[in-house]
Amino acid sequence: MSNLVYLNNDPIILELESSVNKDAVKKTLAFKYFNGDESLLIEYLRTNLYEDVKPSFKNHYIEPKSQLEFSF
């Protein structure tokens, strides 16, 4: 039984993860589920162990490799 995978079917977290603009969706979710109180939404996300990941593309650049050229 230790190899079970538990899926998170929470609609709040699913909607937040599937969004592009996290700040706008947080305001929408706060209005939709928490009567516009964004601090309650943040508290809810903390209790459900949701970490807001903000990707930093500048830190994850991959150095391009030189292209192999054949001389015929």
- Condensed to tens digits (0 to 9), the pLDDT of residues 4-39 reads 666 667 888 888 888 888 889 999 999 999 999 999
CA 66 to mean position of chain CA atoms:
34
**What is the Cα–Cα distance from 45 to 59, expressed in whole angstroms?**
26
Instruction: Check whether 67 has a pLDDT greater than 90.
Output: no
* Cβ-contact 65, 55 below 8 angstroms: no
Report the number of secondary-structure helices (H) and strands (E) in the chain.
Answer: 3, 0
Kindly state the percentage of the chain with pLDDT values over 90: 18
Domain residues of the chain, as ranges?
11-48
